Every structure is written in structure tokens, then in C-alpha cells.
Structure 1
């Protein structure tokens, strides 16, 4: 049975530079990832993405804008079992909110696409970050 998770690739551009939020896990290999988590029974993928972002980064729905038509899917194996993760592109719009980490993470960084790609351990995450950056610059550049 495939595990399903959902989250947001959150970016901000308050200084004119596009920066992505990555969280460092406090378990396993301490990899860096956008906020995401498993969907609960009866919960939609988008509801799970909002809930997990609140739990892992402290952001509420009013802190960011979700581009619901910009949905990306990653498929990979974790410990030999299939996992599907759905990510939506989201822009932090509240300049005053700060990241509040849960115990699942030990650090966070706002990074350029190049810096984020350097920290992201997995090729599919690097590809996702680059796809998101291209989407922002081609479709949503102010």
C-alpha cells in the first residue's frame, strides 16, 4: 500500500529575491525538505498540506497564498515501500510571521533555488525546486 503525504513548496520574495523554505528533520539522516506530512483518514491532500504546514512551520492559511493549479507529485520508496507526496506551490505573504518548528525538525532556512538545491539530498527534490522556481519566474513574477 502506498503511503500518501502532502505539503507546500513555500517561497517568499520580500527582498526581491525568491527564497524557498526548507526544514531539516530531527530524525534519520537530517535531510532538508519543505513542510509536508502524511494524510490522515478522511482528510484531503490539500487539508493535510495545510495541517502539516501549521504543525511543522507554524504558518496558518492566512500567512500564505496557495497556487492550487500548481500541484507537483513525487513518487519514491521509503524503506522499500512506495510513497507519493503531493506538493502545491505557495507564497508567504505575511512578512511578520516567523517559522515555529515542531519537534520533527531541528532547523530551517530560507534559501535561493541554488542554495536549496545544494542542501536537498534527493534529485527529485532538486528537480521540484527548480521547476517551482521556473514556474514563479515565468508565471508569477511581479
Structure 2
């Protein structure tokens, strides 16, 4: 699918009565939420914002994310950096050539995230190399629907 087609599909949608609706992702398009510090670059704590301008990009992060963007996937950075760090973060991303659609600031710090949604959600922990994603069977926590077997 061409990027222009995807951007057209992501435009603001409204009903006949003028009610605003969320955009719908075309089939095959992934919506990536990606951390910044410790995932695409050096892990810079909020307490040391002066280091944000010199953070080094992790190998393959720029190439992989920009390729995903060019393939039409949605790239949104979801960071623990606070709103007061938005400008330095946007400037850093621009300086290094990252392509992205948006950025959500103020993600709570810590590592115990649990996303609950009525749509399929996949989580991938960055583990030292930014590459294409592969399929792998893993154990996951799910809601108890009362049909599980007890050991």
C-alpha cells in the first residue's frame, strides 16, 4: 500500500451528523508505540536533560524505524520524557533523521507496563538490537474466562 493511501485513510473521519471518529488503520498497517531512552538511543534519565542533545542512536534503530515508516506503518514515540523536554526531543529526532507521526510524553517510569485493550496488542521488549520482528511463541497473561484447566 502506498504511503499516500495510508495517510488518506488516516485523515480525520466524521459521521453524517459531524461527529468526529478515530481514524481506521488499513489492513496490514502496524501502529508502533516506541520508547526513546534505552530503546532507540542511550538511556538518558529525566534528571539529566542536558545529556539528551548528545544521546547516541542505537545501531539499526534509525534504519529500521524509517523503513517501517516508509512502508506505511505508524510510528509514535511513547516516552517517559516530560512535556518540558518535548522541544529538545523533537530537535534530537529531527537532527538524526527519524521519521515519525507523533509523540506521547510523560509515560510513567518503571518497567511493569500492562496494556489492556479490546484489540490485539503485541509487546516487544528491546533487547540490544533493533531488527525486523519475528514470530515466536511465548507465554502471556490473559483474563480468566473460567474455561481454563486447573492443574
| Pair in the same fold by TM > 0.5 | no
TM range (shorter): under 0.3
Larger Cα-atom Rg: 2
Bigger RCO (CA 8 Å, 6+ sep): 1
Normalised by the length of structure 1, the TM-score is 0.27
Higher strand fraction (1 or 2): 1
